[in-house]
Structure formats: C-alpha cells, structure tokens
Amino acid sequence: MSRRLRYQVAVSLDGFIAGPHGEYDWIVPDPAIDFGALYREFDAAVMGRKTYEAGLAQGMDGSIPGMDVVVFSRTLAPKEGKRVRVTDENPREVVARLKSQPGRDIWLFGGGSLCRSLLDAGLVDTVEVAVMPVLVSDGIPLLPPGAQSKLVLADHRVLGSGIVVLAYAVVGGVGPPPRIRWVKEA
C-alpha cells in the first residue's frame, strides 16, 4: 500500500494558514492536542521554501521531531542536513517516490502553493485542518486557486478552545480515511 500524503495544517476561520509575513502567532493553543501523538503518525514531512524560512525566522532549524524533512525551493541552494534536505528537484517526482517507499504517512506541512501543485497532480490523499477561532483578515491562503477537488468528511472534533478539527479524504486518494487520533479524549 502507498503511504498517504496528508495536508495537515492550522487555518484561520477566514481561510489563512499564515499572516501576510508568514506569522502564525494567532494559532490558539489547546491542552487536548497531543503533539507527540500527532508527530508519531508521520516519519517524513515536505514543505515549501516560505514555510521553511518562516520557521527559521522563528528560531527553528527546519527539523520536525522524528521526521525526515524535504524542503522544496527553486531559489535556495540544495543542501543535505542530518534530517533536513533542501532540494530544487520537482516536488511531484520527489513526493511520488516518497509515497512508494515503506514508512508512515508523509506530512504536507506547508504551504498552500506546494499543496495546490501536489493536489493538482493527484498526490494529496487527505486534507486535515484545525480551524482556529480567529479572523486573520490577510495572509497566505489555505490554497491558491486551482482545479476543484472533491473531499469526503472522515472525522471531526470540537475542542474546548473553540478549535474545530476536520479530517477529509480526497476522492481518489490512497489509504484509509483519516482519523483524528491526536486529540485527547475528555
């Protein structure tokens, strides 16, 4: 069976995954979210240059605990780190290779443009959003315009903070429908 590529992201109620300068300080914390359990669902992550650079600007090194990370960029120099690889290779080809290898699911960590490209190529299997109870008003959208994609609601949770977590299977995607296992039961 092919590994699933899962677009798993926080989004404002008005549809933004980051502010106009990549900021994400508007994300609401909730004690029911078990980040350790979430991270254990994946052993690889892919992201675009803007997401990578936003993390670097916040003092992160681009790594995600327990995962090999691939950063796609046409402007950064390719480099290979301990768990982070920056590449100028075609994201569609790299992701198709990753999906054919054994392992846990692959986290499409960000951003929206990378997701759009991979969704249009038929490589995204789930869209999982944690809708924050906040209106950002401007920023980076969940997805830029592109082809229409059909989704089927597979699971949902409403958290005490007002966060609504939605998990959708992409029609035509591989693997079982997504389940939200990383939210602690009350």
Residues 147-166: pLDDT tens digits? Answer: 899 999 999 999 999 999 99
Alpha-carbon span 62 to 37, nearest angstrom: 20
* Coil/strand/helix, residue 52: helix
Alpha-carbon span 50 to 77, nearest angstrom: 14
- Which domains are assigned to the chain? 5-170 (3.40.430.10)
* Predicted local distance difference test score (pLDDT) of residue 54: 82
* pLDDT higher than 60, residue 1: no
Alpha-carbon span 81 to 101, nearest angstrom: 20
**Closest C-alpha to 124, from 163, 175, 86:** 175
Task: Read off the pTM.
Answer: 0.94
* Predicted local distance difference test score (pLDDT) of residue 108: 97
